[in-house]
Amino acid sequence: MGALRAAQWQYDNQLPPAVSESAAEEAEARWIDDGIAELMARRDFVFQRNFRQRGVTYERFAQAVDEFVTNQIGQPGISGSVLGRLVLAARCRSTSEAATTADEIMYVPNPESVLQEIARTLLTPFAAEGVLAQAEEEE
């Protein structure tokens, strides 16, 4: 009787199997990661689906970054001349100063991860369709 009770207790208290991503979720995550890399490299990440171009262009990504930065301006700690310094650094081709100023205007601990998260947010709604289009293209 004790063995039966122990077996019943073990059965009743077992944890569900570990949750793993489905193949579709893994494919979508890979597609999004590829898209992030393309957008960060200043390239469009678009595909054709139902005779329409879908995805995220570099221009749309830049607009989303612009919206983020616009919301950051005025935060305490950001210099009032940051936009002017950014323009001047870019015009004078001072890449290190432009990068430093861009990081200042974003006003976050890790600007690279914020840019990637912005790209991820833009790409996620297209992931399922993007994976389907990619599979159709490979056929």
| Number of domains within the chain | 1
pLDDT at 138: 80
CA distance 74 to 80: 8
Gap between the Cα atoms of 46 and 51, Å rounded: 12
Lowest mean pLDDT among 29-33, 48-52, 59-63: 48-52
Q: Is residue 8 part of a domain?
A: no
Residue 112 domain-assigned (yes or no)? yes
CB-based contact 105:65 (threshold 8 Å)? no
Write down the pTM of the prediction.
Answer: 0.79
Mean pLDDT of 51-77: 92
Element (H, E) at 44: none
- Span 101-136, pLDDT tens digits: 989 889 899 999 999 999 999 999 999 999 998 888
Task: Convert the pLDDT of each residue in 5-23 to its tens digit.
Answer: 766 777 777 777 656 568 8
In a domain, 45, yes or no: yes
Q: How far apart are CA 134 and CA 139, in angstroms?
A: 9
The domain in which residue 69 lies consists of: 24-138
What integer pLDDT is reported at residue 139 of this predicted model?
A: 75
